[in-house]
A = this chain, B = another copy of it.
Amino acid sequence: MRGVIAGIDIGGTNTDFGLVADGEVIWQERLPTKRYPDVRVLMNTIQQIIQLQLDQQDLKLLGVGIGAPNANFHTGCMESPPNLPWKGLINLKEMVHQRFGVPVVVNNDANASALGELKYGAGKNMKDFIVITLGTGIGAGIIVNGQLLIGHDGMAGEVGHTLAIPEGRLCNCGRKGCFERYASATGLKETITELLARPGATSSLQHIDPANLTSKQVFEAAQQGDEIALKAFDYTAAIIGRKMAEIAAYFSPEAIFFLGGLANAGDLLLKPAKDYMEEFVLYLYKDKIPLLVSALPDNKASILGAAAAVEEFTH
């Protein structure tokens, strides 16, 4: 019987999960997170789907790794994630352990991705790097001396809630001007809405209901030369560039990797972001730190990373 680890990545839009053996995702599935107003129902469904696979493929489950926003490595709990439908303190570790009966490791979703990059991605030969997830929200997984930076309270890497614009947009966390309100997929949409509200603005994006606008549509408009879309990417790139200049001074990383919806904009976002970063950064770090798109595919990175955490922390 082949041993496998299950990786579950709970995201603001989708929950991806799969089975990992020898550093490969051998099977995976996806459920829409917001369709589950009760997290226990989501976990029951995932447990049933995974159990079916284990039985059909004659596999033995060795552990479960979970990546989730605002999840705490030490307590195994998720604390009122601002971008998810569930409120209060949710003990994911216990909830999943009860259902699967194997060791469970809970991690911040960005931390899980960083571990995936460290074990299976372009970070394999690096000891100091950062993974930034630009999704519904923003997270950061930080590798220092070849280890995950978890922090005393298990809540390190909340880069999404560091300041980007003093007295700026109101954030879900109750504060103003957070990086996440500008450089996430949600932030990009807010930028578009602001730019479209300016007198005389014309754009192909005007014909899309703002509630349904996706960052992919903004990306496509920018590729067609749409001025508003290009302006929005430039504004977002400036904010990312300035934040990466700060991160350079704190961590002196070998590289910064990007993952998630917005990261797929690639050169349209990361090339100008790199230029802005070089403009703002302290001379000590100039031309030293590349901004790269993660080499791991989006939905695989998070599953691999959640599973990698089980190997890292249960042996």
Contact = CB atoms under 8 A, between A and B. Distances in A.
Interface of A: 70, 79, 126-129, 142, 144-145, 147, 149-159, 161-163, 166, 173-175, 242, 246, 249-254, 280, 282-285, 288
Contact of A158 (B129, B282, B288): B282
A307 B284 CA distance: 26
**4 nearest A-B pairs in the assembled complex, by CB-CB distance:** A151-B252, A152-B254, A156-B252, A158-B249
Given A158-B252, A163-B242, 10 more contacts: A127-B152, A144-B145, A144-B147, A149-B251, A151-B252, A153-B284, A153-B285, A156-B250, A173-B282, A175-B280
Contacts of A79: 284
Nearest to A166: B166
Q: How many copies does the complex hold?
A: 2
Tell me the interface secondary structure of chain A in the complex.
loop
Nearest to A171: B282
B284 A253 contact: no
Nearest to A165: B166
Nearest to A282: B161
19 contacts: A70-B284, A128-B156, A129-B152, A145-B145, A145-B150, A147-B147, A151-B253, A153-B252, A153-B285, A154-B252, A155-B252, A157-B250, A157-B252, A158-B249, A161-B249, A163-B246, A173-B282, A173-B283, A175-B280
